[in-house]
Amino acid sequence: MKLDNQELLALAKSRPIVVGSVLWIAVLLIAVYFRSDAAADIKSKLEQAEKREELIVKNLKYASQLESQLLQLKAANAYFEKAALKHTDIANNQKFFYQLETESAIKLIDLRQSPPPALAKGASPNFYTPISFSLSIQGEYENIIGFLKRLEVSPSMAKLNHVAINGPQEGIHSVDINLNLLGLR
């Protein structure tokens, strides 16, 4: 049986709900076909938006603490600047060690401050830098440990590079120390 255009049109007019449903399904299938690749793009954009939202929420949460943290950093910076030694102030730098000598009851045999490292090209002259010292001390073991403990808790940050303790002679130990202290140029 062969249908011509007029018979098809008559068949479509006699069943409008079926024809409308078939056309609607065809339109939806075409839309799904063309929009299927857009779903991946939309999903990735959604994930990026969620990550950004999470970051913003964290920033807002921690932003409330910024003022107090800034004050703490300023106080710490002021403390370190006050405690830092200066390369050029050799007398005060040596005074620091002589005070430790007095407090810990050891004998400071030799104290030498190394020259400052060369300033890097383009670097600011007001930055923290290590000041190197070599010293030799003598004393009883307990006093030497007391000296090292006082050095550890002193306001000037100290880094011991080398410590050599020589055996006791009549209860007195000799110690050679190389260390760096926090300094300003």
DSSP 15-51: -HHHHHHHHHHHHHHHHHHHHHHHHHHHHHHHHHHHH
pLDDT at 72 over 90: yes
Three-state SS for 127? Answer: coil
Rounded Cα distance, 75 and 183, in Å: 17
pLDDT at 123: 67
DSSP tag of 88: T
Handedness of CA 24, 29, 35, 40 (dihedral sign): positive
Q: Which domains does the chain have, with CATH numbers?
A: 5-60 (no CATH), 85-184 (3.30.70.60)
What number is the average pLDDT over the span 163-167? 87
pLDDT digits (tens, 9 = 90+) for 117-131: 777 777 666 677 888
pLDDT at 6: 79
What is the average pLDDT value for the chain, to the nearest integer? Answer: 85
Of the pLDDT bands very low, low, confident and very high (cuts 50, 70, 90), residue 136 is very high
pLDDT digits (tens, 9 = 90+) for 48-58: 999 999 999 98
Q: 33-47, 69-83, 97-111: which has the minimum mean pLDDT?
A: 33-47
pLDDT at 98 over 80: yes
Enumerate the H helices of the chain as residue ranges: 5-14, 16-63, 66-83, 90-104, 141-153
**Residue appearing with tokens 């620091």:** 96
